[in-house]
Amino acid sequence: MEKLWAETGIAFSDFLQISVMFLLTMLVFFSSNGKRVRWLNTFLLIMFAVQCAFVAVFRPGVNVKVFALLMLLSVLVIEGVTMLRRTSHQSQR
């Protein structure tokens, strides 16, 4: 499995770690409607940002750094746009 990922420049463990945290953060964000689970979403978002920052700073190779930063940027954009749309729909009611 490691040989398959060697061509991309991203270790399989890094890919798996970042992808699972990305999916978990998105799952919690989109499945939570109320404020009961908002703390969990905030916690996961902070943990994902810290994880991506550590990967971007300490892992060798440009590919894994770009992947981590793009995943972090996509989480921030998705959550930001969705929050804006949710608040605009609530204010129009």
Q: Where are the domains of the chain?
A: 2-92
Among 88, 87, 57, which residue's Cα sits nearest to residue 72? 57
What is the average per-residue pLDDT within 14-29?
91
32 pLDDT higher than 80: no
**Structure confidence at residue 9 (pLDDT):** 78
pTM, full prediction = 0.82
Q: Are 13 and 63 in contact (CB under 8 A)?
A: no
Residue with tokens 């409607």: 33
Longest dimension (CA), the chain: 55
Name the percent of the chain lying above pLDDT 70: 89
